[in-house]
Amino acid sequence: MDSEHGKRLAQNLVELLIPYEEELIQLERDVPAFGPLRRAVGIAIAESCYFISDNAVCQEEAVPPADGPASRAR
């Protein structure tokens, strides 16, 4: 369950940071000095997405069980 909790936290972080990144993109057009901050927020979003998509999926979970409904449909 710790992995699921981590995924939920990472998803919440992504949802929280995306509007800030969008605003920083607009600000960076007028004031290029906001670029490093925008990149830092983008990196935090990317790392959270990586955690969400890569961390909690085990090979056993990614493959349907041999005796499951998918194998019976063949």
Domain chopping of the chain, boundaries: 2-72
Cα gap 18→14, rounded to integer Å: 6
How far is it, in rounded angstroms, from Cα 70 to Cα 28?
Answer: 50
The pLDDT value recorded for residue 59 is 39
DSSP 17-63: HHHHHHHHHHHHHH-GGGHHHHHHHHHHHHHHHHIIIIIS--HHHHS
pTM of the complete model beyond 0.75:
no
- Mean pLDDT, consecutive 10-residue stretches, the chain (74 aa), reads 82 92 95 96 91 60 53 48
What does the alpha-carbon distance between residue 3 and residue 23 come to, in Å, rounded to a whole number?
Answer: 31
Total length of the chain: 74
